[in-house]
Chains A and B, each alone.
Chain A
Amino acid sequence: LAKTTQPISMDSYEGQEVNITCSHNNIATNDYITWYQQFPSQGPRFIIQGYKTKVTNEVASLFIPADRKSSTLSLPRVSLSDTAVYYCLVGDQLTGGGNKLTFGTGTQLKVEL
């Protein structure tokens, strides 16, 4: 089973860049790596997804090394509103198709002034 490991928590200050790393040693060849953000009392929200190398969108960058056993979510110039829990997910492909998508413990990011 594909399983992910992340730091439990991280602290930062407004305006800094935050990098959250996730390890996924058992990632399968066809698995994507997807990151989600969750605020209290809300469902997780998609942030970014990648397969290899680097992906960038308007809110984050995702760095994936060649062996794909880890990934790093980079949040540039964080603000107080980025305080949330961040999860990385790796697909766990089923024989008949589809994926069993299991969340890890996530990383609680706290941004202060």
Chain B
Amino acid sequence: NAGVTQTPKFQVLKTGQSMTLQCAQDMNHNSMYWYRQDPGMGLRLIYYSASEGTTDKGEVPNGYNVSRLNKREFSLRLESAAPSQTSVYFCAGSDRRDEKLFFGSGTQLSVL
């Protein structure tokens, strides 16, 4: 039982490059979330998926797209990376019933 798994753990991009952050959960969560955390700051919600087949914008969606491929997987895509997107990205899942969030270990992304 792996919980919430994020890949990769570290990534360095050049400005303008694209990449997809992967997240998979084996906890049968209905809802999944993508957050970013800048140094010394709190977590900010980028996108979320309340259930399979639905996605919606959070607080800071600009520059990102998401795909809820199936119940297990929720990916985050940066189409044209910018230095302002340098951050740690966390994926999380929750059961709609009790809303407890379970987080992955994070992806540290640097955009040069």
Residues of A bordering B, CB below 8 Å: 32, 34, 36, 41-46, 49, 85, 87, 89, 91, 94, 96-106
Query: Are B94 and A99 in touch, CB under 8 angstroms?
Result: yes
Query: Are B94 and A43 in touch, CB under 8 angstroms?
Result: no
Interface pairs A-B: 6 shortest CB-CB: A98-B50, A43-B103, A103-B43, A98-B31, A105-B42, A91-B99
Other than the given A43-B105, A43-B106, A101-B94, 7 more pairs (CB < 8 A) read: A44-B43, A45-B103, A46-B101, A91-B99, A99-B50, A100-B50, A101-B48
> Known: A36-B101, A103-B42. Contact between A98 and B33, CB under 8 A?
no
Query: Are A97 and B96 in touch, CB under 8 angstroms?
Result: yes
Query: Are B50 and A94 in touch, CB under 8 angstroms?
Result: yes
Question: Is B81 located at the chain interface by the 8 A CB criterion?
Answer: no
Q: What is the bound-complex CA distance between A101 and B44, given in angstroms?
A: 10
Q: What is the bound-complex CA distance between A14 and B88, given in angstroms?
A: 31
